[in-house]
Amino acid sequence: MQFSKRKVALCCEDPMLQDYLRRVLEQCPTLEVICSPPSPPPAEPLDAAIVSHNCLTPTEVAVLQRVADCGSVREAARALYRSETTLKRELAAVREKLGVATTLQAVVWAIRQGIIR
């Protein structure tokens, strides 16, 4: 029985870690490993993505946490003493790094990865 290969993207800032993960994953004959720069992940359909947690700065993690806590960008901006425009610009950079379309998707990704609570 022939199985199609599953596509897995590796997005790491650390080239040594990316090389190690690529070598390990390539040992599995049912995986096709796609290495990409830290941001954004490849646009083609993927079955899985491995993103290095250090791809987000501590400030970006704090911004995502505040948005999750406050429930809106406007309230998070007030709590962080930043303009809403500034916070939206920071969130746009986070969305681009993670390869997601919305801030909600970025927050959900960070919660699932254990980066925020």
47-68 pLDDT tens trace: 666 666 557 888 999 999 999 9
Q: What is the pLDDT of residues 95-115, one digit of tens each?
A: 988 888 899 999 998 888 788
**d(Cα 109, Cα 89) in Å, to the nearest integer?**
19
Domain limits of the chain? 6-54, 56-112
The structural architecture, per CATH, of the domain 56-112 is Orthogonal Bundle (1.10)
Per-residue pLDDT at 43: 58
Residue type, 103: T
List, in sequence order, every residue forming a beta bridge with 10; answer none if it has no partner. Answer: 35, 50
Is the pLDDT at 92 greater than 90? The verdict is: yes
Only one residue has tokens 């954004």, namely 40
82-102 burial: b if 16+ Cβ within 10 Å, else e: beeeebeebbeebbebbbbee
